[in-house]
Structure 1
Amino acid sequence: MSSEITGSRRHDASRAVAGEAQQDYAPVETDVPQPSWGAAPAGYSAKYTPGQWFSNHHAVLERAGARHHEAQRIQTQSRVLSRDTEAACRDAQSAGTRLLGERLRDIHLLRSELQRHVAQLQADLEALLALRTRLERALDATEIPYAISTDNLSCRAGRLGPDLVRDAVEEQLLKEVDLIRNIQALLKRTITQVFSQIKMTRETKEKLELDWSDKWQAYGFDDQSGRFSNLSPDTQQHPGSATMQEHMCNPSSWVKFTQNNLSEAVQEEQATNSLRVLVEQMLQDTTQDLRVQCSNVDQAFAQRCVELSEAKIQLEMALAQILEQIGAQERNIVALEQAIHNKDTPMRVAQSRLYIRSLRPNMELCRDQPQLSLEGELRQLNGTLESLNLKLSEARNSLSYLEESRMELEKDINCKTHSLFIDREKCMTHRRRYPTMSSLSGY
């Protein structure tokens, strides 16, 4: 029983050693009969030979030494690998931190440039809004001179008689109306242009603000990333963070995008400056043109009032002379009528004498000297009466003409007085409300 147990244990130990050595050696074959698997025969114990024992011993020692050297090699390589990987990790982390710092610097530079242009666009936008307000005020200010000019034309249309003439004043007023209409159309087109520039400037500013906001967030993320270290307690595992995202851009397109935005901002700033200079010059020119035309109209009014005043004075002087002549002619007519009336008595005396003498009888009816004298006196009286009546008729006609001239002069004086009232009292007084240059400039 003990021999079976011993044989079985030795056989199991041999199999264990053989399995551990992974068939590194084989037992030496002898002529000793090998026991079969299972129980050994009674009175027989299975044993290895001394050579097998030594072979097994040396094999175990060799395996142990080989595994010892292999373990030392692995340990040495592990220490080198650990040291190299640690250095590589530190270098990679340092490079990442340095690149993040450079990236932060680039973002800061572009963000600062964006912020500067955003501030400039904001200033330009405020300037454009103020300019649009000025243009609108200038457009509103032109309504006053337009109303004044049209009112002057309407008032002067009420002139009477021969004073209803297309004079220099009316020509200048019509020029002023046309000038104001052209300026109003120009101001409206300029307001539309400024509004369009405001829209484009606002869109560009919003685009730059969006880019600046993105860079501000990116700067925060990269700054936070740069502050991470091996001692940071808030780092986490993100296995999929290194996956390439489809919408990522390359650095050149990133820079080009911002540069395009900045270029667009520069273009809008230049366009705004050019438009502001153009509008300032336009307002100055239109204001100057309106004031010059206003001066021309006022000068024409003043000249016309002088002409009307002189004409009125001349008419009044002529009227005074006519009135004096009318009075003298009336007195002349009275004198002629009295002279004609005074000839009635001598006429009756002469006619009575001739009638009485025509009653003389027979030969006494003689054409003697008294008869001839009476006949001559009668002829003289008839001629005198004829002359006096003719002169009286002429005087009466002259008086009629003088009356017509008086009425014509008085009517013309009334026309001149009415025209002077329109031009001086109504039109020129109304033109005192003409806007100042600052109002016409939109201030």
Structure 2
Amino acid sequence: MAEKKDLEAGDPELECVRKPMPLPVLPKPLTLEEKKYLLAVERGDMANVRRLLQKGHRKKHIDINCVDSLGRGALTLSIDGENLEMVELLVIMGVETRDALLQAINAEFVEAVELLLEHEELIHKDGEPYSWQKVDPNTAMFTPDITPLMLAAHKNNYEIIKILLDRGATLPNPHDVRCGCEDCIRQSTEDSLRHSLARLNEYRALASPSLIALSSTDPILTAFELSWELRNLAFAEQESKAEYLELRRQAQLFAVDLLDQSRSSQELAIILNHDPDEPAFVDGEHMKLARLELAIDFKQKKFVAHPNIQQLLASIWYEGVPGFRRKTTMEKIMIICRVALLFPFYCTLYMIAPNCATGKLMRKPFMKFLIHASSYLFFLLILILVSQRAEVQAIQLFGPEWMVKELEKELLKQRGNGPTYLELVVVVYVLGFIWEETQEIYIEGIRSYLRNMWNFIDFTRNSLYVAVALLRFAAYLQQAAEIRRDQQTKFIPRESWDAFDPQLIAEGLFAAANIFSALKLVHLFSINPHLGPLQISLGRMVIDIVKFFFIYSLVLFAFACGLNQLLWYFADLEKKKCYVLPGGLPDWDNAGDSCMKWRSFGKNVIGAPIATTRLSEQALVCIPPRAPKFTIHEWKVSNDLRCRNAEDQQQLADRILGECKRVREETGERSEIMKATSDRRIEERIGDIEFNKSELQIQRKEICIELEALGVYKTRLQDCLASLQANALNICRKCLMLRDGRIGIDLVVDEVEQCLQQEITTIVGGQSLLKRVLEQLNEQMRRLRATRYLLDRDLQYKQAAIDIDKGSLSLKPTDLCLSVYEGYTNLDPANISADEYNAYSAKNIQMAAREVTSARPIRMFVDTILKQVIDDLWTAYNKCNHAFHERIEDTKRTKSKLEDMHRDTTQKIVEMQNNILQLQKALSDKEGNTALAHTRLGKRAQRVGAELVRDPPGQALYYECEMLRHSAEQLQQMLQEATASLRYLLQTQIQLEEDINVKMNTLKIDDVDCMTLRATMDYHAY
């Protein structure tokens, strides 16, 4: 039940993989206005873009944030064109920036980056994502993990990185590749590829030289640490090893480039002696070269091998012997030999007076190296003398007689001997080596000590020598105790000692220690420019040898298992056959083969004799028994019978000889006659074949001529088809596509479009016809090639027959190449009669002639078809051009008429505006008169008594007011009509301008674009 539940639950990793991904939202189709908008942005047309944006803000009929089919918006197009004014206009007009900042950084458009950053700071609110983070990741050009600073670091753009860092942009350190935090586990579970690529992008940004230089207080240390981290990542993520190693090389090269900027030895010394935990280096102090040691620890080979560093190291190395490298070879050898021979004096003087001039000279690196090397070579010399028993040989060669006798007595004493003087010198050297290694561990630390592989050899050597000393001391105590018990034990020879005697084990360890001591010379030779690189090659070669030996051992083991499985039974069987004698001894006399086979399986056979047993057995010869004796009568009868038989046989032989001579002469004569007849028939046959061959060659020549001619016609057809496809058809289709760019009322299906469609139909029909003719031509050429192949094969057969017959005709009875068929081969294998042969040859000749005859008319047919197609194309071309010219003339006339109307309308607008001004002035004047009349009436209304009479002046004023009111109403009505007329005139002017622009666009398309393209069309007969 538990398994069933697990199966129902499913694997969470598989569920993650199978989780459906959201489909990207594709951009919606663009309207005509949006296409114009994006095209104007791409061309940098500021006026049209501003007009379209303002129009879009007013009428909301255009999406200012629209994108084309490639997902490029207006800002992206302006950034790609590096049009800063356009970018500024779009940002001011409210176009969404989205990932435009990343686009600008990717295009390295510094001014646009500054502008977009300022805009982002204005519109961004705390707690909300930035503009580039709001883009749909399914349609975005950059992955969500890419930030502006990261992208700028990828581009290694110093200016953009500095701008971003000044504004507070940061790049967090990536998590360790083995990190087990919740975020890393979640990201790896959701999408392991994206998680890995995100880490790679982060390190690609961190490896940017510009970012390191701007953000790090110690760029060289940062480059070292980053290259080491990238090296570990390359081994941790094998899938991206090449990318991480490339980034590591980039970081190493940056450190080397920084080193190139040093212009003096003082600057170089400050760089190489810089230590963050120590005070700054002052010129004249002892150089610790902390930064160089750090470079060695981080395996910065190019940094260490830089010429500037090597020059400084060389000056430090040869400080004690100035000018050493400029001396001659002989002078160098003399200096080295002097120091090597006087090293005991130098060492003693240094121990007595270390601060004297010579003692200070001893502290110089080169002198120290020479003295150490000389001392070690002297130590190796002591080891050689010890191994060769030099003390004994010196006494035997140069010592007095009494000393030699004492030595012989001492040599008889095999056990209980103490160390020799040379061995005591070796002990002193070993104590010095141990003190040197202990001091190195104390100064540099155990980790630094263990990183040097040569220290393992030194440790092994010292350990072996210490073990030798302890074993020799234990052996001396043991042997001294034995000698005290029995004085004769000191004369026991070595071959009688116990195999695990402490002194024998000590001598074996001493030999091994000598080997390790000699290997130390390899380390000394590493300073040589020729032997040093060989050590590196040797080390890598040893690794390859171990790998190969592992594979070889695996293959050998596999074959051994197979052979053992195959032969184990027979091995045991042969062993039982061999070991049959009492006591389990092999029986070499009776089972020698089995014993030899058993030995091939690697078993040691005891008692095997010398391998001559079987040869000795074969050398024995059996003696047959003696024959019985006959009587004298039997002897005589036998002799008479033999004589009579001999005479009969002689007579028979004479008769046979005579008959043979007669038959030989008759057969010889018949053979000559038959040979002459055969020769004549063969010559006739050769003549017939050569005649047929000449006829076939004539037909073959005509076929080749016809094939060559058809090949020319085929090339003409192919050239015509290619020209129609690449030139005429494409131009016509492009003209149709360009005419689709007409706007407004001019986007009409006119006669030009119909002619273009007819011309395309004519071109396609001509292509179809030419393709069919080309297929017929290819078929005819195939048939001609097939006929030529048959003729070639027939000619080959005939030539072979001629060669065979001529060879047969040249044969003589005395030739050595003759042979006789003894009945196992049919002497007459021919299965075709002479009539059939003649009919076959005639058929081939007739077939060739028929194919040649049928191929000739097709050339005329091709000429006719080509001429017909070209004539049809020219007709369609001229008709279409005529339609274009008429359409262009009509458009020009219409455009000219519209321009005249536009000019008249503009004049009317000016007149109407003046009229409106005059009406407004008249209204103003009437307002003054009306006010005057009303004022007079008001004052006259203040009269009292009988004076308030309706007199003529009052009537006149009243009529004046009415007349003024009526006049003002008329003027106001006329002003309204004039204003409405002006508005209609302005609309008419705008419409006329749009119509003129439409006509200008149509004229550009038809007269400039299409007619220019059509001028390149060329039809000829090919």
**Structure 2: how far apart are the matches of 1:150 and 1:254?**
61
Aligned to 2:845: 262
**Structure 2: how far apart are the matches of 1:414 and 1:112?**
80
Aligned to 2:1012: 429
Aligned to 1:395: 978
**Structure 2: how far apart are the matches of 1:245 and 1:433?**
74
**Which structure dedicates a bigger proportion of its chain to helix?**
1
1:437 aligns to what SS in structure 2? Answer: coil
TM-score by length of 1: 0.69
Aligned to 1:144: 727
The verdict on how the C-alpha distance between 1:342 and 1:249 changes in structure 2, with shifts beyond 3 A counting, is same
1:342-353 → structure 2 map (5 Å cutoff):
342-353=925-936
**Structure 1: how far apart are the matches of 2:738 and 2:778?**
39
1:200 aligns to what SS in structure 2? Answer: helix
Aligned to 2:696: 114
**Structure 2: how far apart are the matches of 1:106 and 1:330?**
114
2:923 aligns to what SS in structure 1? Answer: helix
**Structure 2: how far apart are the matches of 1:416 and 1:205?**
65
Verify: 1:315 aligned to 2:898, yes or no: yes
Verify: 1:285 aligned to 2:868, yes or no: yes
Deviation at 1:394, TM superposition (A): 0.9
**Structure 1: how far apart are the matches of 2:834 and 2:936?**
148
Deviation at 1:114, TM superposition (A): 1.7
Deviation at 1:106, TM superposition (A): 5.0
Residue identity in the other structure for 1:269: V
1:12-54 CA-partner distances (Å, limit 9, x unpaired): xxxxxxxxxxxxxxxxxxxxxxxxxxxxxxxxxxxxxxxxxxx
**Structure 2: how far apart are the matches of 1:120 and 1:192?**
22
The verdict on how the C-alpha distance between 1:106 and 1:365 changes in structure 2, with shifts beyond 3 A counting, is farther
Instruction: Count how many residue pairs are aligned between Structure 1 and Structure 2.
Output: 350
**Structure 2: how far apart are the matches of 1:283 and 1:247?**
53
Residue identity in the other structure for 1:343: K
Aligned to 2:582: none
Aligned with 1:203 (options 774, 780, 786) = 786
Deviation at 1:317, TM superposition (A): 0.5
Aligned to 1:405: 988
**Structure 2: how far apart are the matches of 1:318 and 1:366?**
62
What is the aligned-residue identity percentage?
30
**Structure 2: how far apart are the matches of 1:95 and 1:281?**
59
Residue identity in the other structure for 2:860: V
**Structure 2: how far apart are the matches of 1:214 and 1:326?**
101
Which range moves more in the overlay, 119-128 or 290-299?
A: 290-299
Verify: 1:181 aligned to 2:764, yes or no: yes
**Structure 2: how far apart are the matches of 1:398 and 1:266?**
92
Long gaps (5+) in structure 1? 1-81
Aligned to 2:883: 300
1:78-122 CA-partner distances (Å, limit 9, x unpaired): xxxx9xx99xx79x979995x878766654553333222111110
1:409-441 CA-partner distances (Å, limit 9, x unpaired): 01110111111111122121122221x223xx4
1:363-416 CA-partner distances (Å, limit 9, x unpaired): 433333323322222222122111111111111111111100100001110111
Aligned to 2:957: 374
TM-score by length of 2: 0.31
Aligned to 2:302: none
**Structure 2: how far apart are the matches of 1:117 and 1:174?**
49
Aligned to 1:155: 738
Residue identity in the other structure for 1:424: D
Which range moves more in the overlay, 341-350 or 279-288?
A: 279-288
Root-mean-square deviation (CA), in Å? Answer: 3.5
**Structure 2: how far apart are the matches of 1:195 and 1:128?**
9
Which range moves more in the overlay, 360-369 or 417-426?
A: 360-369
Verify: 1:354 aligned to 2:937, yes or no: yes
Which range moves more in the overlay, 206-215 or 381-390?
A: 206-215
Say which one has the larger Rg: 1
The verdict on how the C-alpha distance between 1:280 and 1:370 changes in structure 2, with shifts beyond 3 A counting, is same
Between 1 and 2, higher relative CO (CA 8 Å, sep ≥ 6) is seen in: 1
2:749 aligns to what SS in structure 1? Answer: coil
Deviation at 1:123, TM superposition (A): 1.1
**Structure 2: how far apart are the matches of 1:124 and 1:102?**
34
**Structure 1: how far apart are the matches of 2:727 and 2:861?**
25
Deviation at 1:320, TM superposition (A): 0.4
Aligned to 1:129: 711
**Structure 1: how far apart are the matches of 2:741 and 2:966?**
56
**Structure 2: how far apart are the matches of 1:437 and 1:181?**
14
Which range moves more in the overlay, 181-190 or 311-320?
A: 181-190
Long gaps (5+) in structure 2? 1-665
1:324 aligns to what SS in structure 2? Answer: helix
Deviation at 1:271, TM superposition (A): 3.1
Deviation at 1:132, TM superposition (A): 2.5
1:343 aligns to what SS in structure 2? Answer: helix
**Structure 2: how far apart are the matches of 1:354 and 1:259?**
139
1:219-248 CA-partner distances (Å, limit 9, x unpaired): 6677889999xx9999x99999xx983534
Aligned to 2:997: 414
